[in-house]
């Protein structure tokens, strides 16, 4: 601990301390309460920050099934928009894949993540759940023993210590769980070499599909959020500040890359948020260290190209809740022993498809390292660009490839 003040008296011990009130932590908290397990959620941010943070918004069919199974899908089913089509725009024209109706796939629900988090919090409180906002976990201690603890900085700035039987690290990539891993933990990391400028526009969607525009100036993406709000992405020069361009210049560039002149104008509006996303990914292996278990972004970070992060987080939370209930209610730790392998199989499948999708959408700088000086203006090599054209042609023409795409696009 770094504080000079001594920790407060130990907080009463609980069965599970959950770090983080994102989708992973709040689904887990709800399911633990339903199983009669005592838990507390500790969240670094304020309640209002958690409830207004715009993040992902595409929830896969399996995610909706999990939420429905546990009585957590009311808002999603009532307000979420069904979405099953994506449109690719390339130099050769545009084509659509109705992925929601192909193979074993199904449509997404488009539902902003902050709305899902608000629903999960409402249910959690309704079920009698305890949550402490403005409470930052600093470290997890003694995870290799039967009584781990978490040190925190409380809202008044003073330190405290929470005891538990298990600690669930659902506190994202920069959280205390990851910082507390033992030296043997492995973090496998990959940088796709691409940066996105993410934009939240106060404007209705411009097409009734997810839009993926492949352009030699770089990728541009369009994703509906609500009838009034749309998310856009622009492949961005890494290192350039998010506010380097005016709104006018951003919309003009989106028009060019989305080929608005050929396919219709984009509906413009104020850009409410701008954020930079380096398309990096990682996986922590294993996901269990004694009494400390990782889920969601704390377990694995995915590039946003295939919108899998929140879906994996919900799936892992359900698996973890089942395993903790078995251990705490019936004394059977088999589920916890298998937790890591079970989740890693889903995580690596999602990483594989996300990597494929990322290579499809971008000519990443230096991606092939062919060293022949064969470079185009978009920062990728002509060799890579040709491979991409071939992949796109296959996607456009092969029904098997489209089924494969559809199933992987929505599966978690």
Q: Of the listed pieces 32-40, 172-180, 265-273, 388-396, which binds ligand APR according to CB under 6 A?
A: 172-180
Classify burial at 81, counting beta carbons within 10 Å of its beta carbon; exposed 0-12, middle 13-18, buried 19 or more: middle
Residue (21 or 406) nearer to ligand APR, CB: 21
Residue 146 CA to its chain's centroid (Å): 31
Q: How far is the CB of 28 from ligand APR (least distance, A)?
A: 9
Binding to ligand APR, residues 276-335 (CB under 6 A)? 296-297, 309-310, 313
Q: Which of these ranges, 2-10, 18-26, 30-38, 374-382, lies near ligand APR under the rule CB under 6 A?
A: 18-26
Among 15, 16, 17, 22, binds ligand APR (CB under 6 A): 22
Contact 186, 265 (CB under 8 A): no
Contact assessment for residue 7 and residue 151, using Cβ atoms and an 8 Å cutoff: yes
Considering only residues 40 to 59 of the shown chain, the ones binding ligand APR according to CB under 6 A are: 42-45, 50, 55-56
Strand 81-83's sheet: what is its strand order? 58-59, 108-110, 81-83
User: Is residue 200 a contact point for ligand APR (CB under 6 A)?
Assistant: no
Any contact of residue 112 with ligand APR (CB under 6 A)?
A: no
Buried b (16+ CB within 10 A) or exposed e, 28-57: bbbbbbebebebbbbbbbeeeebeeebbbb
Nearest approach in angstroms of CB 407 to ligand APR is: 21
Instruction: Indicate the residue among 159 and 365 with the shorter CB distance to ligand APR.
Output: 159
**Which of 13-21, 355-363, 380-388, 400-408 is the region at the interface with ligand APR (rule: CB under 6 A)?**
13-21
Rg (CA), the chain: 22
Query: Which one, 307 or 385, has the nearer CB to ligand APR?
Result: 307
Tell me the pairing of strands 220-224 and 230-236. antiparallel
Helix %, strand %, coil % for the chain, to 5? 35, 30, 35
Among 14, 16, 21, 102, binds ligand APR (CB under 6 A): 21
What residues line the site for ligand APR (CB under 6 A)? 19-25, 42-45, 50, 55-56, 113, 136-137, 170-172, 175-176, 296-297, 309-310, 313
């Amino acid at each position: 601990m770094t504080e000079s003040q001594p920790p407060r008296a130990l907080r009463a011990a609980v069965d599970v301390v959950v770090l983080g009130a994102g989708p992973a932590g709040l689904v887990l908290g709800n399911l633990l309460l339903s199983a009669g397990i005592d838990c507390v959620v500790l969240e670094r941010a304020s309640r209002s920050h958690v409830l207004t943070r715009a993040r992902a918004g595409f929830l896969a069919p399996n995610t909706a099934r999990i939420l429905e199974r546990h009585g957590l899908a009311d808002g999603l089913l009532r307000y979420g928009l069904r979405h099953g089509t994506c449109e690719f725009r390339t130099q050769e024209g545009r084509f659509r894949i109705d992925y929601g109706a192909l193979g074993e796939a199904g449509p997404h629900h488009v539902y902003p993540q902050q709305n899902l988090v608000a629903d999960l919090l409402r249910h959690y409180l309704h079920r009698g759940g305890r949550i402490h906002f403005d409470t930052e976990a600093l470290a997890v201690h003694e995870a290799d023993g039967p009584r781990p603890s978490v040190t925190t900085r409380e809202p008044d700035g003073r330190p405290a210590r929470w005891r538990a039987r298990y600690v669930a690290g659902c506190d994202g990539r920069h959280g205390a769980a990851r910082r507390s891993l033992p030296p043997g933990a492995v973090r496998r990391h990959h940088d796709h070499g691409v940066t996105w400028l993410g934009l939240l526009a106060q404007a209705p969607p411009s097409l009734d599909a997810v839009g993926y525009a492949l352009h030699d100036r770089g990728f541009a993406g369009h994703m509906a959020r609500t009838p009034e709000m749309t998310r856009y992405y622009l492949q961005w020069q890494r290192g350039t500040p998010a506010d380097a361009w005016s709104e006018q210049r951003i919309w003009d560039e989106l028009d060019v890359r989305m080929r608005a002149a050929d396919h219709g104008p984009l509906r413009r509006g104020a850009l409410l948020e701008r954020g930079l996303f380096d398309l990096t990914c990682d996986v922590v292996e294993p996901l269990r260290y004694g009494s400390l278990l990782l889920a969601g972004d704390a377990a694995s970070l995915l590039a946003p190209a295939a919108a899998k992060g929140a879906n994996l987080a919900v799936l892992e939370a359900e698996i973890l809740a089942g395993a903790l209930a078995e251990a705490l209610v019936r004394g059977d730790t088999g589920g916890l022993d298998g937790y890591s392998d079970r989740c890693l199989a889903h995580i690596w499948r999602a990483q594989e498809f996300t990597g494929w999708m990322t290579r499809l959408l971008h000519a990443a700088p230096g991606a092939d390292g062919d060293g022949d000086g064969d470079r185009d203006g978009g920062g990728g090599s002509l060799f890579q660009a040709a491979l991409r054209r071939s992949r796109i042609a296959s996607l456009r023409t092969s029904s098997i490839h489209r089924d494969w795409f559809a199933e992987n696009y929505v599966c978690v």
